[in-house]
Amino acid sequence: MRLLIIGTLDGQIGAASQIAMARGAKVRHVVTLEAGLEELRGQGADLVMIDVKCDIRTLIDSLEAERIVVPVVACGIATDASAAVRAIKAGAKEYIPLPPDAELIAAVIAAVTQESHNIVFKDPRMSQTLKLAEQVANSDASIMITGESGTGKELVARFIHKKSRRADKRFVAVNCAAIPENLLESELFGHEKGAFTGAVARRIGKFEEANGGTLLLDEISEMDVRLQSKLLRVLQEKEIDRVGGSQPVKVDVRILATSNRQMEEEVRKGTFREDLYYRLNVVTLALPSLRERPLDITVLADHFIKRYSEANGLPYRALSAEGRQMLIRHSWRGNVRELENCMHRAVLLAQGSEIGAEAILLSGGPVGTNPDPVVAQATAAAASVTAVSPTGLVGKTVAEVERDLILDTLNAYLGNRTHAANILGISIRTLRNKLKQYADDGVPVPPPAGGEPDRAAL
């Protein structure tokens, strides 16, 4: 983990650095906020610890403006409670009192930077897929990972990286669907100062950030054809050109790509370059849907029940026999992501000694049936379920029904544009255009999910 410390930490730099390095972190230190931003633009970081005396609000605003996603933790003397409150209000995720405590720093580092990337499975179909993934992981071949939304494509990409000879290097992911076309080139290849309006300083792109490691191009089928040609050149020449730059930069990156679309069909339609497809598609891993790996349904359900019971401070309740049968018979249009949301709800709603059928709110129509696709799109991602009577649609225009469908799905996914677009079966560009139209009409649009830039107004 790469840790950047900004400020003096009241003379506790040495102690904090030694504690972090003992936990496996690579530590860099700068004194000023401006120097910290330069470090983040030029090298990136996995975590920032900043002196509470620094202008934390300016740092957070600058990170948002430049689309630099990194958690920020504030540090200050233990007796200054008001400073801690100001830091959290300004956008810091945590506050560490000084002098630093080894266990506290270790806990904060783990809480802020650690994510669960374990793949839980039992079904032979998934076992075969992961066996193939492990077999090809140690090569430098590009791999295309395909599958429906919610099947765990990024998890498999991380699995491949961990099993590769690049495992000790960086894994960098970029969501091609969540970044507008005019910004994605800069995000991938970086830019020089003054290259365009808003380019206040040189910034490295994801290719340079992942140099020596693995770069995941998530939902690559959403990438504009013009940018696809530049990506093809990078893969062929193993060098990138920063936007506004005059000299190419050599890079050594292993490429993984994902898509929830049929890539051969995208090539046939002309929306994806055939030569780039074959360059990326040295090996294809097609992830099975949850419907195709039925033995994993209850295994995953138990896993999510334990996770969300602990996260919400609730007692563990086992899944009842009737509840298990409900899950097995369901169609799971949203795959593992839908199952996770369903179990999260069930943990919160359960009241007895078990999680029974009454706590399991399934989306997409009656259990064991294939729901109407329009209804399924509206409800597959639902983080909360609302019963809607068909008569409630009477008197509305088609445009109003479409608007309600889009906004309800977006609310269900807590503002995540990418997931909502996948569930609705539309492109992220179409979703952005719809949201811009609604915002222009004065309709409230849910804010984006944490870490996802707000593109509704673009």
Backbone angles phi, psi at 81, to 5 degrees: -65, -35
Asked if residue 297 and residue 279 are part of one domain, the reply reads no
What is the pLDDT at residue 116? 55
Let me know if residue 318 belongs to a domain: yes
> Does position 370 have pLDDT exceeding 80, yes or no?
no
Let me know if residue 119 belongs to a domain: no
Give the count of domains, the chain. 4
Degrees, nearest 5: CA angle 377-383-387: 65
Let me know if residue 193 belongs to a domain: yes
Asked if residue 108 and residue 233 are part of one domain, the reply reads no
pLDDT, tens digit (0-9, with 9 covering 90-100), for 420-450: 787 777 878 788 889 988 988 888 888 876 4
The residue that leads in pLDDT, 54 or 457, is 54
Instruction: Residue 312: give its domain's CATH number.
Output: 1.10.8.60
Confidence of residue 115 (pLDDT cuts 50, 70, 90): low
**How far out from the chain centre does Cα 269 lie?**
28
Q: Positive or negative, the Cα torsion across 439, 441, 444, 446?
A: negative
Asked if residue 325 and residue 211 are part of one domain, the reply reads no
Give DSSP secondary structure letters for 395-422: T--HHHHHHHHHHHHHHHTTT-HHHHHH
Radius of gyration of the chain (CA): 23
The residue that leads in pLDDT, 346 or 42, is 346
What is the pLDDT at residue 371? 38
> Does position 271 have pLDDT exceeding 50, yes or no?
yes
Asked if residue 295 and residue 282 are part of one domain, the reply reads no
Bridge partners of 239?
A: 250
Give DSSP secondary structure letters for 3-56: EEEES-GGGTHHHHHHHHHHTT-EEEEESSHHHHHHHHHHT--SEEEEETTS-H
Asked if residue 275 and residue 417 are part of one domain, the reply reads no
Nearest CA-CA partner of 317 in 352, 343, 360: 352
Question: Which of 288, 314, 345 represents a domain boundary (last residue)?
Answer: 288
- The predicted model scores a pTM of 0.65
Let me know if residue 206 belongs to a domain: yes
Nearest CA-CA partner of 221 in 428, 72, 382: 428
What is the pLDDT at residue 242? 93
Degrees, nearest 5: CA angle 306-309-310: 85
Tokens found for residue 226: 């013009």
Confidence of residue 359 (pLDDT cuts 50, 70, 90): very high
Nearest CA-CA partner of 60 in 30, 83, 87: 87
> Does position 225 have pLDDT exceeding 90, yes or no?
yes
Edge-to-edge order in the sheet of strand 254-259 = 171-175, 214-218, 254-259, 143-146, 283-286
**Domain coverage including residue 40:** 2-113
Confidence of residue 353 (pLDDT cuts 50, 70, 90): very high
Instruction: Residue 69: give its domain's CATH number.
Output: 3.40.50.2300
Asked if residue 50 and residue 101 are part of one domain, the reply reads yes
What is the pLDDT at residue 451? 45
What is the pLDDT at residue 243? 92
Confidence of residue 172 (pLDDT cuts 50, 70, 90): very high
Asked if residue 333 and residue 255 are part of one domain, the reply reads no
Asked if residue 433 and residue 311 are part of one domain, the reply reads no
Give DSSP secondary structure letters for 91-131: T-SEEEEESPPHHHHHHHHHHHH----------HHHHHHHH
Element (H, E) at 313: none
Asked if residue 82 and residue 22 are part of one domain, the reply reads yes
Question: Which of 229, 261, 288 represents a domain boundary (last residue)?
Answer: 288
Confidence of residue 382 (pLDDT cuts 50, 70, 90): very low
Confidence of residue 276 (pLDDT cuts 50, 70, 90): very high
Instruction: Residue 135: give its domain's CATH number.
Output: 3.40.50.300
Let me know if residue 457 belongs to a domain: no
pLDDT, tens digit (0-9, with 9 covering 90-100), for 36-94: 999 998 888 889 999 999 999 999 999 888 878 888 999 988 777 788 888 888 888 88
Let me know if residue 330 belongs to a domain: yes
Instruction: Residue 406: give its domain's CATH number.
Output: 1.10.10.60
Question: Which of 113, 148, 163 represents a domain boundary (last residue)?
Answer: 113
> Does position 153 have pLDDT exceeding 90, yes or no?
yes
User: Where do the H-state alpha helices sit in 260-397?
Assistant: 263-269, 274-280, 295-311, 321-329, 335-349, 373-379
Tokens found for residue 447: 């804010």
Let me know if residue 452 belongs to a domain: no
Asked if residue 260 and residue 232 are part of one domain, the reply reads yes
Asked if residue 435 and residue 397 are part of one domain, the reply reads yes
Residues 6+ apart with CB under 8 A from 253: 207, 210, 211, 212, 213, 214, 215
Asked if residue 370 and residue 333 are part of one domain, the reply reads yes
User: Mean per-residue pLDDT for 240-260?
Assistant: 94
> Does position 258 have pLDDT exceeding 90, yes or no?
yes
Type of residue at 94 = E
What is the pLDDT at residue 380? 40
**Least-confidence region, from 166-175, 352-361, 435-444, 448-457:** 448-457
pLDDT, tens digit (0-9, with 9 covering 90-100), for 186-217: 999 999 988 888 788 888 999 999 999 999 99
Let me know if residue 454 belongs to a domain: no
